[in-house]
Amino acid sequence: MKKKLSSFERQLMLDEILFYSICSDQDRQKILDQQPMTFQDFRRLSLLTDYLELEHLHRFIWDLHAYKFMDEMDELYNECKEGSEDLPEMLLETGHWLDDFWKQAPNITVSFLLRQIFSDGLKSRRKNNITLYPGPNRNKGNSPS
């Protein structure tokens, strides 16, 4: 008798169906550890799954790949915390990742819909802790940011 899927497994499969139907074959292979993933790939795929609110796939990517990039994440976190002069360039880079993704969509309708979602940004929903790089809790206290 086949084991019943857990709620997480089921949602992960749905997230994968959606994402793998619109991403490149190379990205799918990187997520599944069939091709090497760079830190840039990790950041880009984390950003894309976050924007698309694919929480279970996002968590899967982190569970499978984050340990490989702990040093890079610590370095990036420190750069962000210290207000590195590279921050504007990093923000431009994330914009390019989003543009590249909607432009490579499988058809014009999906491309249009992705562009609408990406132009809306992340502001319209609550951030989950799984999307944050490791570091101290930024929500402590009631002081405004």
CB 51 within 8 A of CB 18: no
Rounded distance, CA 100 to CA 10, Å? 29
Q: Report how far residue 121's alpha carbon sits from residue 30's, in angstroms, rounded to the nearest whole number.
A: 25
Nearest alpha carbon to residue 49 among 118, 96, 108: 118
Residue 102: half-sphere exposure toward Cβ, Cα within 13 Å: 18
Residues 6+ apart with CB under 8 A from 45: 27, 30, 31, 37, 61
pLDDT of residue 90: 82
Under 8 Å between Cβ of 19 and 52: yes
Tens place of pLDDT per residue across the chain (145 aa): 688 999 999 999 999 999 999 999 999 999 999 999 999 999 999 999 999 999 999 999 999 999 999 999 999 888 888 877 777 888 889 989 999 999 999 999 999 999 999 988 765 445 554 444 444 443 434 434 3
| Domain positions in the chain | 9-18+38-131
**Residue-level pLDDT at 122:** 65
